[in-house]
Chains A and B, each alone.
Chain A
Amino acid sequence: MEYFLIFVSAIFVNNILLAQFLGICPFLGVSNKLSTASGMSGAVCFVITLATVVTYLLNHYLLVPFGLEFLQTISFILVIAALVQMVEIVLKKISPSLYQALGIFLPLITTNCAVLGVAITVVTKEFAFGGAAPHMLNLGQAVVYAIATSLGYGLAMCLFAGLREHLAGNDVPKAFRGLPIALITVGIMAMAFLGFSGIV
């Protein structure tokens, strides 16, 4: 039951883009076309899940036992950077077609704050779902949270890319063209997502 609540909460209620403001830069950058948006979402989903597992283990078995929690930021970002590189190399060898699809997005992901944001949130924040006493996530819950969060990322990204494709053909006032109208669209979308709040 709790896994389900984490899932719904992370996708809809606390949507990483529309409620937590993480990973906005690539969101605005590559959401012009539905195809690139879905490619980016796939790459982000992959890296967030992998990075969360690795940083969770790193934190749990290395940083906490030695009282080195203050190194979280610096060690997590280095792990993420290394991980992205590794994923790139492995993907190139094992599945060239998947590399073709995700490859160009991978280098951008190191500086996507959604990845570091989720990794830090998972090990520092106490979660509370459905009236249960607040607690830190265990590894299984952390994985579910990471997957759901990145699905939420993909959902918002693809919805927005769809809207933006339609915007491109419209006659928008000059000062609104480009990012301003995109931001206002996201604002309205975020307002729709506010409707989900309180269901978990």
Chain B
Amino acid sequence: MALCLTVVCLVCSAVVGGAYALTKDPIDAAAQAKTTASIAAVLPAFDGVPEQGKIDVDGTEYVYYKAEGAGYAVISTTSGFGGALTLMVGIDTAGVVHNTTVLSHSETPGLGAKCTTDTHFMEQFRGFDPAAKKLAVTKDGGDLDAITASTITSRAYALAVSNAVKVFNQLAGGQSNE
């Protein structure tokens, strides 16, 4: 009985270990491809490989990618309606938001989840200049139209972008727009 269990466990561990060894590289490659694609989506075209870095802003650690000549892509997480909302925010060298994309979210399907499909909402961030306009929804006195019936998600999205702008300001040498 004990022998049988031992043999089964050994064989199973071997199978799992083998599968892990075989899939490790494709899994890393897939994660890498996703990051590369989202960086390319949020920044103007650039040459070379973006350089990864970490920075601490207001007590929170942010991961960012520096693309030479194009700007910074910052990963920024806030809490939305259903849980964490993680964005990749691209900010060009002039400090203007180039584009944003959602990396992961757990918003309500059909409501907050529209932050990944509502083009009117997403297009507002394209070319948004935080020095000229306020990164908040109109309800909070800002310059962004919220997604219909999803103010909390929209607020979280705006906050994530404005946090990313803070990160950029610190990275770009401490000049603050506030």
* Interchain CA distance A102-B83 in the complex, whole Å: 34
Checking B81, B84, B152 against A127 with a beta-carbon cut-off of 8 angstroms, the contacting residue is B84
For A74, A125, A133, A198, which residue has the most chain B Cβ atoms within 10 angstroms? A133
* Interchain CA distance A198-B81 in the complex, whole Å: 7
B78–A71 contact, CB under 8 A?
Answer: no
Interface residues of A in 19-76 (CB under 8 A from B): 70-71, 74
**Nearest B residue to A125, CB-CB:** B83
CB contact under 8 A between A198 and B152, given known A70-B20, A134-B84:
yes
- Majority SS of interface residues in chain B? mixed
- When each residue 62-83 of chain B gets 1 if its CB lies under 8 Å from chain A and 0 otherwise, what string results? 0000000000000001111101
* Interchain CA distance A130-B16 in the complex, whole Å: 40
Q: Please tell me if A196 contacts chain B, counting CB pairs below 8 Å.
A: no
Which of chain A's residues have a CB closer than 8 A to the CB of B60?
133
> Number of A residues contacting the other chain (C-beta, 8 Å)?
15
Checking B16, B83, B152 against A134 with a beta-carbon cut-off of 8 angstroms, the contacting residue is B83
Q: Please tell me if A132 contacts chain B, counting CB pairs below 8 Å.
A: yes
Q: Please tell me if B10 contacts chain A, counting CB pairs below 8 Å.
A: no
B12–A127 contact, CB under 8 A?
Answer: no
Determine how close the nearest CB of chain A comes to the CB of B15; give it in whole angstroms: 10
CB contact under 8 A between A127 and B78, given known A74-B12, A74-B16:
no
**Nearest A residue to B60, CB-CB:** A133
- When each residue 102-133 of chain A gets 1 if its CB lies under 8 Å from chain B and 0 otherwise, what string results? 00000000000000000000000111111111
Beyond the given A128-B78, A128-B84, A133-B78, could you list 6 further A-B residue pairs with CB under 8 A, ordered by the A residue number?
A74-B16, A127-B83, A130-B79, A131-B79, A132-B79, A198-B152
A-B residue pairs in contact (CB < 8 Å), sample of 9: A70-B20, A125-B83, A126-B77, A128-B78, A128-B79, A130-B79, A134-B83, A197-B81, A197-B108
Taking Cβ atoms with an 8 Å cutoff, the residues of B that contact A are 12, 16, 20, 60, 77-81, 83-84, 108, 152
Taking Cβ atoms with an 8 Å cutoff, the residues of A that contact B are 70-71, 74, 125-134, 197-198
